[in-house]
């Protein structure tokens, strides 16, 4: 599949690199310098290139949205029409200083995003994991026990695409249901971040969310 990366920072840079190594074709876009996008594409060691958000959106089968909440409007303006596109969003609706969620309880960032692009197929995924663990999970992907990763969305084919990308990274995808479940997974992501960055266990403790009974 061809995956467009909208936001090539900590999450987008790492996930895009892993998708390319897993065999997907990746288009890195949306960073402050074109040089950085080119460096990421070269370093991905797979089929990867740098492009504008518009090119990434036009050419991709699926898009990973990985920008700060304050940049969503800007990136969506740059992509143009996203009708029919699968958007896998790891973006959390954080305030400017990243101390809290600006949307919670009665809605979620993912649901608000879906309202902004009503003809796109939005799936919420990857936001419950700290970027620091992604390469480690990928390296360990052939081990018998894989850490789980929850995702949610309203479009079944979009969710299948997200599940494939989650497997590519080395997680066991857990379908948490419709997009409104993001009201619970997004606050959960803050707990994960608290454990990863403030707690004593570090990121490796935070991502080991597993299903019982397996
Ligand atoms: N980091 C995590 O562990 C983590 C975990 C779960 C969820 N999330 C969520 O994932 C999303 C992305 O987080 P992140 O940590 O990957 O953020 P990040 O490292 O800051 O990446 C954001 C990307 O947006 C680009 N950008 C910012 N302002 C721009 C502008 N004016 N023009 C063009 N590009 C611009 C940045 O460019 P540069 O590369 O040039 O800086 C960067 O590539 C956020 O919503 C966050 O809440 C993050």
Residues in CB range of 19: below 8 A, 6 or more apart = 3, 26, 64, 165, 168, 169
Under the banding of pLDDT at 50, 70 and 90, the label for residue 212 is low
**What pLDDT is recorded for position 210?**
60
Separation of alpha carbons 74 and 14, rounded Å? 22
Pocket test for ligand 1, best of 6, 10, 15 (most atoms within 8 A of CB): 10
Is the Cβ atom of 28 under 6 angstroms away from ligand 1? Answer: no
Q: How far is the CA of 144 from the centre of ligand 1 (A)?
A: 32
Is the Cβ atom of 207 under 6 angstroms away from ligand 1? Answer: no
Using a pLDDT cut of 90, give the percent of the chain over it: 85
| pLDDT tens-digit map of 70-119 | 999 999 999 999 999 999 999 999 999 999 999 999 999 999 999 999 99
Ligand 1 atom closest to Cα of residue 130: 3
| pLDDT tens-digit map of 16-69 | 999 999 999 999 999 999 999 999 999 998 899 999 999 999 989 999 999 999
Instruction: Return contacts of 72-75, CB within 8 angstroms, 24+ apart.
Output: 72/113, 72/116, 73/116, 75/6, 75/7, 75/30
Separation of alpha carbons 152 and 176, rounded Å? 5
Is the Cβ atom of 39 under 6 angstroms away from ligand 1? Answer: no
Is this model's pTM higher than 0.95 or not? Answer: yes
CA 152, 208, 46, 7 dihedral sign is positive
Q: How far is the CA of 12 from the centre of ligand 1 (A)?
A: 7
The answer to whether the CB of 141 falls within 8 A of the CB of 172 is no
Query: Where would I find the beta strands (DSSP E) of 51-205?
Result: 62-65, 86-89, 121-124, 148-153, 172-175
49 forms beta bridges with 27
Is the Cβ atom of 44 under 6 angstroms away from ligand 1? Answer: no
Look-up: residue for tokens 């954080």? 94
**What pLDDT is recorded for position 52?**
98
The answer to whether the CB of 126 falls within 8 A of the CB of 90 is yes
Pocket test for ligand 1, best of 14, 15, 30, 67 (most atoms within 8 A of CB): 67
Nearest residue by C-alpha to atom 37 in ligand 1: 31
């Amino acid at each position: 599949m061809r995956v467009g990366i909208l936001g090539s920072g900590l999450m987008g840079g790492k996930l895009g690199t892993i998708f390319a190594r897993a065999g997907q074709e990746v288009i890195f876009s949306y960073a402050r310098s074109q040089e950085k996008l080119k460096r990421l594409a070269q370093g991905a060691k797979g089929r990867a290139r740098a492009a504008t958000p518009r090119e990434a959106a036009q050419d991709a089968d699926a898009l990973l949205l990985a920008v700060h909440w304050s940049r969503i409007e800007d990136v969506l303006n740059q992509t143009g029409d996203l009708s029919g596109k699968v958007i896998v969003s790891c973006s959390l609706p954080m305030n400017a200083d990243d101390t809290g969620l600006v949307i919670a309880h009665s809605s979620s960032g993912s649901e608000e995003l879906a309202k902004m692009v009503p003809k796109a197929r939005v799936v919420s995924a990857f936001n419950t994991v700290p970027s620091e663990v992604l390469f480690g999970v990928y390296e360990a992907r052939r081990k018998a026990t894989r850490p789980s990763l929850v995702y949610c969305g309203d479009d079944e084919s979009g969710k299948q695409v997200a599940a494939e990308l989650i497997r590519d990274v080395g997680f066991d995808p857990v379908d948490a249901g419709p997009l409104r479940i993001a009201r619970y997974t997004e606050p959960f992501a803050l707990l994960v971040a608290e454990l990863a960055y403030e707690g004593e266990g570090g990121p490796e403790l935070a991502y080991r969310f597993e299903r019982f009974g397996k």
